[in-house]
């Protein structure tokens, strides 16, 4: 069962380690197909990898980069009907047999009910963290806090902070089974491969708006969100260049030579989210017709049509996820 792995990387020395970890820790390395958009000053030697996996490598001068959504959109052009789609960041590490674990979790969710809501699940989370101890020697320290689920909720202090954009956060709960969700993480997303064709990445978003626009488009097109225990993936959350070696897209030294500056891209991204919610986008980039924004308000407690919080427990409290029966449609 093939897995297309989408990795958008920006000036990230951990890209190579991420690729190696995915290959070395997979149970079926030959089933992996990488799509890599490497926005860096110096391209990596993709042919140097001694791997059974397949690679599609796209090197882009960082001056030409327009952000992660633009890069992820480019990567989806490499998708060739693989069975599954995994989207990660370029500073990710894996546990052993991660591929079998994710496939098993996805299939287990499909088998929970005959309701159409369970036919197209997305497994997503802000994964457990890891720290860089020695970048050169690829020495890392991993969060060993297993057995928790990391649902994603809205941040109460950041609701509709920029028009329709709200920040989100992950707060762990102690449960040994999957829970329903209503938000996704762009750096850890696993679904059937049909996701690429049904919810293609919109290159017109920058950072603000990426995750909620993807969520609303996926939800209204019939996809459902689940957060599962023991996600076999670790993510680096420390953006300190001295520790991680990474440069950020909005770094002034990086941005000064671009024709379109990062703040202009961010402004366009916020407007794009507004146009999505107001129904001003063409069908390809717009909302679907399987579920509605009213359904989403019932699920999440947040009403985008009226820009109101309808239920604070749903929107802001991770413990609320414990109250929903897993094998029942949650709205």
Residue 110 token pair: 């499909």
Whole-model pTM: value is 0.95
- Alpha-carbon separation of residue 166 from 98, 158, 210 (angstroms): 31, 5, 11
pLDDT tens for 104-152 read 999 999 999 999 999 999 999 999 999 999 888 999 999 877 779 999 9
**The pLDDT of residue 239 is above 90:** no
Q: Would you call 159 exposed, middle or buried from its count of C-beta atoms within 10 A (0-12, 13-18, 19+)?
A: middle
Least confident of 134-148, 159-173, 301-315: 134-148
Distance between CA atoms of residues 233 and 134, nearest Å: 20
CATH superfamily entry for domain 3-323: Spore Coat Polysaccharide Biosynthesis Protein SpsA; Chain A (3.90.550.10)
Average pLDDT, the chain: 94
Mean pLDDT of 42-48: 91
Give me the DSSP letters along 140-208.
Answer: EEE----S-B--EEE-GGGTTSBTTB--EEE--B--SS-EEES---TTEEEEETHHHHHSPPPTT--ST
**The pLDDT of residue 289 is above 70:** yes
Residue 295 token pair: 């359904």
**The pLDDT of residue 323 is above 80:** yes
Mean pLDDT of 184-188: 97
Distance between CA atoms of residues 133 and 172, nearest Å: 25
Residue 257 pLDDT: 79
| Structural domain spans, the chain | 3-323
Mapping DSSP to helix (H, G, I), strand (E, B) and coil, where does residue 107 land? helix
Distance between CA atoms of residues 112 and 92, nearest Å: 30
**CA nearest to 34, candidates 95, 81, 79:** 79
Percent of the chain at pLDDT exceeding 90: 82
Alpha-carbon dihedral 52, 56, 57, 58, rounded to 10 degrees: -170
Contacts of 144 (CB under 8 A, 6+ apart): none
Distance between CA atoms of residues 117 and 209, nearest Å: 25
DSSP 8-state class, residue 317: -
Mean pLDDT of 319-324: 91
CA angle 34, 39, 43 (to 5 degrees): 75
Residue with tokens 């770094």: 251
**The pLDDT of residue 250 is above 80:** no
């Amino acid at each position: 069962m093939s897995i297309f792995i989408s990795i958008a990387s920006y000036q990230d020395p951990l890209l190579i380690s991420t690729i190696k970890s995915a290959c070395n820790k997979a149970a079926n390395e030959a089933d992996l197909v990488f799509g890599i958009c490497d926005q860096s000053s110096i391209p990596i030697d993709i042919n140097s990898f001694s791997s059974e996996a397949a690679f599609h490598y796209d090197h882009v001068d960082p001056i030409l980069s327009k952000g992660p959504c633009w890069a992820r959109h480019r990567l989806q052009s490499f998708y060739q009907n693989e069975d599954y789609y995994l989207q990660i960041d370029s500073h990710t590490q894996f546990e052993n047999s991660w591929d079998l674990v994710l496939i098993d979790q996805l299939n287990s969710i499909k088998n929970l009910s005959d309701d159409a809501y369970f036919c197209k699940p997305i497994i997503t989370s802000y994964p457990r963290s890891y720290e860089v101890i020695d970048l050169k020697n690829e020495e890392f320290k991993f969060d060993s806090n297993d057995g928790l689920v990391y649902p994603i909720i809205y941040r109460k202090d950041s609701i509709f902070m920029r028009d329709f954009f709200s920040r989100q956060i992950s707060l762990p709960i102690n449960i040994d089974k999957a829970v329903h969700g209503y938000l996704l993480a762009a750096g850890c997303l696993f679904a059937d491969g049909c996701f690429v064709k049904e919810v293609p990445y919109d290159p017109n978003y920058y950072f603000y708006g990426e995750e909620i626009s993807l969520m609303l488009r996926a939800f209204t097109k019939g996809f459902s969100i689940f957060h599962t225990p023991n996600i076999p993936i670790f993510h680096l959350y420390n953006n300190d260049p001295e520790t991680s070696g990474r440069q950020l897209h909005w770094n002034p030294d990086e941005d000064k030579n671009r024709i379109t500056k990062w703040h202009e891209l961010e402004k366009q991204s916020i407007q794009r989210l507004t146009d999505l919610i107001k129904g001003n986008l063409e069908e390809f980039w717009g909302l679907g017709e399987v579920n509605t924004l009213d359904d989403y308000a019932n699920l999440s407690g947040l009403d985008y049509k009226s820009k109101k919080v309808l239920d604070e427990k749903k929107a802001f409290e991770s413990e609320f996820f414990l109250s929903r029966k897993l094998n029942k449609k949650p709205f």
